[in-house]
Amino acid sequence: FPVTIVFHKVYILVFLVCLFCMVSEFVVDAVGFGSFLGRVRPVLGFEGVDRELASKDPVYFVVNCLGLTPYSWQAEFLDRLALGENVLACCARQVGKTFCLAAFSLWAITFNKLPIAPDGRTHIIIVSATEEQSKKIVSDVKKLVRIGDEYLGRMSQGRLAG
């Protein structure tokens, strides 16, 4: 019986910590959204995409090369990953964590941002609790490639940029 009480207290504490993190994410999202929008306003037309900036800024890449708009917490998550920081995200289910990892992976591979392999190329290793979760992340990266191709095709109206 005492073990059960301790377990329930720990469970409630974990629940409260997760609830606090979710609420704080919403507060940060609401407060930081205005400055975030100014930074990632999509450029008009394919010729307006700055490839050098896209190679330096994963959020710019997501907005202007994939045509997607991340939430402000996702933008901060991508920025911190790009800076090489260790990131711990305490989030609810289905809020876009896998999207962030897939977008970051695609950005890193596209611009060879983490050339740690002997051949000088970026290799991304997907590690998850189950094989199904790993396959989902790989599938999401493939989906982002298709989305980016379609978006840039529409933006360029089928023309190749020189």
Q: Give the pLDDT confidence of 63-119 residue by residue, as tens digits.
A: 999 999 999 889 999 999 999 888 887 888 888 888 998 999 999 999 999 888 888
**Residues comprising the chain, all counted:** 162
**CB of 95 within 8 A of CB of 39?**
no
| pLDDT recorded at residue 94 | 87
% residues pLDDT > 70 (the chain) = 67
Element holding 51 (H helix, E strand): helix 51-56
| pLDDT recorded at residue 40 | 53
**CB of 100 within 8 A of CB of 77?**
yes
- pTM for the complete prediction? 0.69
19 CB-near residues (< 8 Å, 6+ apart) = none
**CB of 78 within 8 A of CB of 58?**
yes
